[in-house]
Structures are given as C-alpha cells and as structure tokens.
Structure 1
C-alpha cells in the first residue's frame, strides 16, 4: 500500500461531505501548514458538494492532479514538498474555475441535459450524500457507486447501485422509484430503506419506513416487505425475509459501526472494506463468533482494533495491508 502523500490529503479534503474536515497534525503538516491552501481546498469541497446536490457533473480533480504529479520527475525532498504546495494551489484554482464553468453551463442549458447520467463513486473510508432532482436523498456507503439521471423524465425514477446506500425517497405515487443492482430490483413510491449489493456478497434490502417491492433478478420472484424487515438473497440466489433492527442496518449512514449479535466474519469484512485492508482469519472457526460491537467510523484503524481486542474474544492485529484475526 502506498504511503500517504500531500495530494492524498488534498483529495481527502475535497472529497469530504462535511463542512469541516478533521485533519491530524501529520496531515496538516503535509499541506505545509499553509492556511490559504487549506482554505482553498475547503472552498472547493463546498463547490463540489453543491454541484453534486444540484446533480451537476463534477470535474475529475483527482485525475487531473494525478496527471500533474506523474509528469514531474522529482524526488520526495524538501524542494518537492515545496513544489507540492504550488501544485495543490494550482489545481485548486483550476478546478474551482472548471466548477464555475460547469455550473454556468448547467444552468444555461437546464432542460437540455435531464437525461444525462451522472456516476458517483466512493472509496475506502468514504461516504457521500447526494440529493437528486426529485428531492430524494441518497447516502452512499464506502466502496460503492451509483448512477442517476440529472432529471427524471419517464414514468419510473431509476438509479443503479453497486455497493450500499440508504435511500430517503421523495413520495410520488405516479412515478415509482427503482433501485437496480445486478442481483435485486427494489421498487417504491416513497420511503426510507437500505440497499446492500456489494459484488460477490449477498444482497439485501432493509426497510425503515413505508413499503417496498423487491424483485429477485435471477428467479423473477417479487416480494413485498414491511418496516423492520430485511430481504436477503445469498450468492446462490436463494432469498429469505427476517426481522431486523433498522437502527443497526442504517447506523453506518450516521458515521457509526454498530453490530448487535453479529458474526465476526461479517463485522471484520465490513471493517476491512472501510479501512481498505484484506481480512485474514488464522482459524476459520473464529468467523462464527458473535459480538456486540460499536465504534465511530471516523476513528483510526488502530483505535477500532483496540476496541475489538478489549472485548476479550479474539486477538486482532493490523499492518498496512491486512487485518489478522487469531
């Protein structure tokens, strides 16, 4: 895993979905303690959030920054660190200008691009809130992506999800809201629900309020669930319904890891995905241990591992690439 660089910290600030981004002393120092740079980054973050909430296309700032860095054949010296300050300042200014142009073009051409599809992605340790044109709010979990139109023009309001998201759907009895994944298709008129469909894992829909209709894409069977129920479909396509604590299934959207009597394997793979680590069990029997566990998602991996170890059930260690359970 690569070392964290000053451009990584810049991206962290610009990708943030909160007004104030918490940076460690080390991260602040990597931005050379330049308050103007940090202020510019936060301004750009606000611009990007506003553009996402207005369903505008957002410039690929990360990609442009990587192009500049890759073109420079310099060593990681004090001169390079000083150079990075200029690079970050330049890219912030350029990206902000691009954002303004995109915003102007969007508003001047509104109505012409309603069918244009936007795609938003998150990485490890990231969540993002998106407000759609119809008033629907989507909170996208880590390592997830969603595709949605700038405006809904047909009978159905359709979005495509990979990963996990919490949906608070604006009610419209004439225009059903549909979430499509490669495993299941969820249809609603207006409600709050969580959809999870990470590649290679079981798919699920947990209903907080309202009513939803879930279609198994392999069998074609349609199932209705009520608040407090979760529809689950395993990798083989077999589905069932169980009662769940929706506070637990949606806790991630409030920035919390919260597991009530859950299998250790499920907990660890969620942590591994969040912290971008491979999960290794030294003894497969440990996977079925059940735990009650809660922690702040903004905490470091070391803090989270310490909390796990304090339970006295297993020994958890971590390095730059793995979480090891024994």
Structure 2
C-alpha cells in the first residue's frame, strides 16, 4: 500500500465530485430522502470486481500501472462516499426532520351528485335555499374540495356557513332531510351553524363526531395525531361512537381526540381560529414545527429542519395568507435566532 501514500493532492481532487455534483446529490437527498451510501458495501462490490477480473487474466502478467488503476478506482469510490457523508457542504445533518408535502391540484373542486368534478373559480359559493324541499330523504351528496394554498367559503342548504381550509374536503347533501343535518369533513373547517333544535347539526370525520344545535366552532381532522375541535360559542358534544364516550365542551375549550374514548379537554384561545377564517396566519406561542407545517401545507412546500433544536421554539407570528412565500420567509428571518432559506421545492430551517 506504499503506492497509496504517493498519490498527489491534485490527483485525488480529480477523483472527487465537483461542487455542482455535490449540490445535485444534496438536493436529491432532501427531496427524495435517498438512502445514505453504504461504504462497506461499495468497497466489497469493487473488491469483488477486481478479483473477478484478476482471475480472468491470471495467465497474463499484470502491469503495475493496471493494478494501480484498480486500487485508485476503489479508493476513489470510497472517498466519494466518505466525502458525501462527512463533508459539511453536501451532507444531510444527523438531526434532520422533513415535513413532506405532496403535490396537489391547484383548483377548488365541486363534485356533483353524478360524480363529475367541476373547477370552482369563485372563493365563495352558496347552496342556501330559503325553502327546503318537502322531502324526508336527503338530497344527493355533493363534495367541496380545496387544494393546498386555497380555501373556500360556502353556505350550506340550511344556511350554515363554512370556511373550508386548504387541503380539505366537505361532503354534504344537496338538501337536508327531516332528521339530523349530517356532513362529513376531511381536513379543517370553521362552522357557523344555523340554529334548528329539531334538526341537530352533525359533523363526522375519520376520528370523532361533533353534534350541535346552533354553534360556532372549528374542527381539525387532517390526521389522528392532531384531531380536535375548538368551541368559539354555544355548546357541542363530541364522541368517538360510543354512548359512554360523549363529552361536552364549553366556549374557549379544545377537545383533542387521542383514540376511542380518549379525550383531552383544556382551555384554548379562540382568536387564532377566527383570524384564519378572516384570511390570516395567527400563531401565538406556537412551536416552530407547527408553524412551518402549516406554512408548508398552504404553500405546498416540503419543510426541512436542519437544526431540530428549533422545532420546539415558541413564536408569535402573524401574516396575511395572501402574502408570497418569499415575504413570509423574510418576516420569519426578522426574528432572533432564525435562519430560513427558500429553495426550489423546499423551505429549509438552518
């Protein structure tokens, strides 16, 4: 191995990736979470290749230069892997959290009773009918869906007002029947329910059911880790499907569903929810992790935390949702201790 010590620095440089190649590797890792190279596996594969070729040519005398080429190739491959893993420029930090945001359509969509999708250009729609059809059976189901980066205000057939947040879907009938007024939500929505004691208003989602008579509340049901309802005014009952599981919450309270018959009810400031309805991001003493997840959902970007210590940082941050992402990033960078970089497909918290 004395020959290895005779390698000149410029010869090693030629074997290593260029800055442009390093940038491409880093970008691919961030967006695709490509597995980290296995140095031992690479060395074993190249050593095996060398051995096979030596066997094929064992009747011929190998020149020193050819042996050296094999050695340099193996070393170069391993050096490239080591370079990728340990050089500060291209490496993924050990502590990295990636909040992945898959692409979605860019139009608010109404699915009619026949299953046909129609793009909705207006941000507000009304299905309100002053005189409901005299029927005991509900009308056919309609669906309103919003993509990332867009919300929608709609008025249901009974006059109930709904502000549907981004990446959400609400299923509701063309007209309500003589029983309960039932809708199904995926995502997040703010409701102002028309009072009707004879016909309770029920919002179902994949995690729990909310029943009201006439109330203002917000439901979040993107996933089971953060499924909750916040009551602004009135009274609601929540349940995961069992009579013994019914819980009642008061205005200014949040009920978080942790599973079947598992609830956490605690005081919650309602102002941020009314602000969202009015077109603002409003985060008060909120962790940076949750703030960036919401921003990533709205602007359809992957969020990368290179410094995971910042994920639990508490911030007060307010901005209009119609602002550009670059403006949002500029505002975040005005805060002490924050360095946020806007990439092509991701937002990086340094």
Query: Which bin holds the TM-score, normalised by the shorter protein?
Result: 0.5 to 0.7
Structure with larger Rg = 2
Contact persistence 2:211–2:238 (CA under 8 A): yes
Counterpart of 2:250 in structure 1 is 226
Aligned pairs for 1:212-223 (under 5 A) are 212-217=236-241, 221-223=245-247
- What do the CA deviations read for 1:2-51 (whole angstroms, capped 9, x no partner)? xxxxxxxxx97x859xxxxxxxxxxxxxxxxxxxxxxxxxxx845x95xx
Aligned-residue offset at 1:114: 4.8
Q: What CA distance in whole angstroms lies between the structure 2 residues aligned with 1:156 and 1:219?
A: 17
Query: Which of 182, 186, 198 in structure 1 is aligned with 2:210?
Result: 186
Contact persistence 1:55–1:150 (CA under 8 A): no
Aligned pairs, number? 234
Counterpart of 1:83 in structure 2 is none
TM norm structure 2: 0.61
Counterpart of 1:257 in structure 2 is 281
Please tell me the root mean square deviation across aligned C-alpha atoms, in Å.
2.8
SS at 1:299 equivalent = coil
Aligned-residue offset at 1:166: 0.3
TM norm structure 1: 0.66
Counterpart of 2:230 in structure 1 is 206
Aligned pairs for 1:38-57 (under 5 A) are 45=121, 49=124, 52-54=125-127
Aligned-residue offset at 1:144: 0.3
- Unaligned stretches of 5+ in structure 2? 1-30, 32-104, 110-119
Provide closer, same or farther for how the CA distance between residues 226 and 318 of structure 1 changes in structure 2, counting only shifts above 3 A: same
Q: What CA distance in whole angstroms lies between the structure 2 residues aligned with 1:237 and 1:282?
A: 37
Aligned pairs for 1:83-122 (under 5 A) are 114-122=138-146
Contact persistence 1:201–1:235 (CA under 8 A): no
- Unaligned stretches of 5+ in structure 1? 2-10, 17-43, 57-109
Contact persistence 2:235–2:249 (CA under 8 A): yes
Structure 1 runs (4+) greater than 3 angstroms displaced: 110-114, 217-220, 234-238
Provide closer, same or farther for how the CA distance between residues 196 and 128 of structure 1 changes in structure 2, counting only shifts above 3 A: same
Contact persistence 1:233–1:239 (CA under 8 A): yes
Counterpart of 2:173 in structure 1 is 149
Query: Which of 295, 298, 304 in structure 1 is aligned with 2:322?
Result: 298
Contact persistence 2:127–2:156 (CA under 8 A): yes
